[in-house]
């Protein structure tokens, strides 16, 4: 639609909106009410439109106003322009998950990924059957990967602080000791000395032998023996299930709903024992780039992750960690 016939045209979206209202209502008063302005202001806008388009647009016919041939020719085009402006400048439309055809890439540790995959697939089957998930190991530097679009979400213990990254805390957990059924540590009270005397498998993707448990033991002049370091929680639990080794597993706090992060430990028949030491809590969160904050598909993904990690699934009655008997 050509609104301006001057050598230096100025695009004014408000003029297009006013033109659409005037041509639709064929009344200055009704057009003013439609746009929540005064009749006097709408009269001034009509006068401006007449100058710009060099056409009277609406003329008196008794008690009403009728459009000129030019106005009639512009009516549909003006309405189309206003619809386009609404789509361009209005808030994004909500997304129907059932219509999504997307693959989301998540970066997280294997234990979190295994717990998430089950919950996400269940939610996708029910709500978004066209969605699939790619879960990557913690191999990329999360800040740049989020910024460059290499991953859609980072999930886990978020330890990087990039000014633009959005972070949401999902659930607070604690560390417990996992051992096979019948392990000597399941008999009698679990003391720091007994825990330190057992042989351990540590989990570290960087190959570290020590962690917060070692710091807590050192305060009591105790030191544990780590026989092997593995990069995977699932591999460590599988090893513990067929040996006398001990590994640490994140679990829910007492009195809260069971965490899906302990499902694999229970599936392997492991016993989860409270650690009689003050260890720092573990917070699982998710991080994303702000360009995705208002995106409907990404909002569904974040909601699905939130539900998969924080909402107990039906039929998942998992026993809580065993409390250490009082001495």
Residue 10 is predicted with a pLDDT of 53
What DSSP string runs through 58-113?
A: EEEETTEEEE-HHHHHHHHHHHHHHHHHHHHHSPPPPP-GGG---EEEEE--HHHH
Q: Quick check: pTM over 0.85?
A: no
Q: For residues 13 and 117, which has the higher predicted lDDT (pLDDT)? A: 117
3-state secondary structure of 134: strand
What are 250-264's pLDDT values in tens digits? 999 998 888 999 999
What are 275-309's pLDDT values in tens digits? 999 999 999 999 999 988 888 999 999 999 999 98
Residue 57: φ, ψ to 5°: 65, -65
Residue 1 is predicted with a pLDDT of 40
Query: Rounded mean pLDDT of the chain?
Result: 86
Indicate whether 11 pLDDT > 70. no
Q: For residues 77 and 200, which has the higher predicted lDDT (pLDDT)? A: 200
Indicate whether 190 pLDDT > 90. yes
């Amino acid at each position: 639609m050509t609104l301006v016939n001057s050598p230096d045209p100025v695009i004014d979206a408000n003029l297009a909106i006013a033109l659409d209202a005037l041509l639709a209502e064929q009344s200055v008063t009704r057009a003013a009410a439609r746009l929540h302005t005064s009749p006097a202001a709408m009269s001034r806008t009509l006068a401006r439109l007449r100058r710009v388009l060099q056409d009277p647009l609406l003329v008196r016919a008794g008690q009403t106003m009728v459009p000129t041939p030019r106005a009639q020719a512009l009516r549909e085009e003006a309405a189309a322009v206003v619809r386009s402006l609404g789509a361009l400048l209005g808030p994004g439309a909500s997304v129907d998950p059932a219509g999504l055809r997307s693959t989301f890439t998540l970066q997280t540790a294997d234990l979190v990924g295994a717990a998430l995959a089950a919950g996400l697939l269940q939610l996708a089957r029910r709500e978004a059957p066209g969605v699939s998930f790619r879960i990557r190991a913690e191999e990329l530097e999360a800040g740049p990967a989020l910024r460059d679009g290499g991953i859609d979400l980072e999930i886990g213990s978020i330890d990087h602080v990039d000014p633009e990254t959005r972070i949401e805390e999902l659930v607070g957990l604690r560390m417990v000791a996992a051992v096979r059924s019948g392990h000597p540590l399941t008999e009698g009270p679990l003391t720091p000395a007994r825990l330190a005397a057992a042989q351990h498998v540590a989990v570290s993707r960087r190959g570290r032998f020590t962690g917060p448990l070692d710091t807590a033991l050192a305060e009591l002049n105790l030191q544990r023996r780590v026989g092997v370091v593995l990069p995977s929680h699932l591999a460590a639990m599988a090893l513990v299930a067929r040996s006398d080794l001990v590994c640490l597993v994140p679990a829910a706090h007492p009195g809260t709903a069971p965490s899906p992060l302990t499902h694999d430990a229970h599936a392997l028949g492991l016993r989860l024992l409270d650690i009689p030491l003050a260890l720092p809590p573990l917070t699982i969160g998710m991080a994303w780039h702000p360009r995705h904050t208002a995106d409907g598909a990404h909002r569904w993904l974040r909601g699905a992750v939130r539900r998969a990690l924080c909402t107990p699934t039906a039929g998942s009655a998992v026993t809580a960690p065993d409390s250490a008997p009082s001495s």
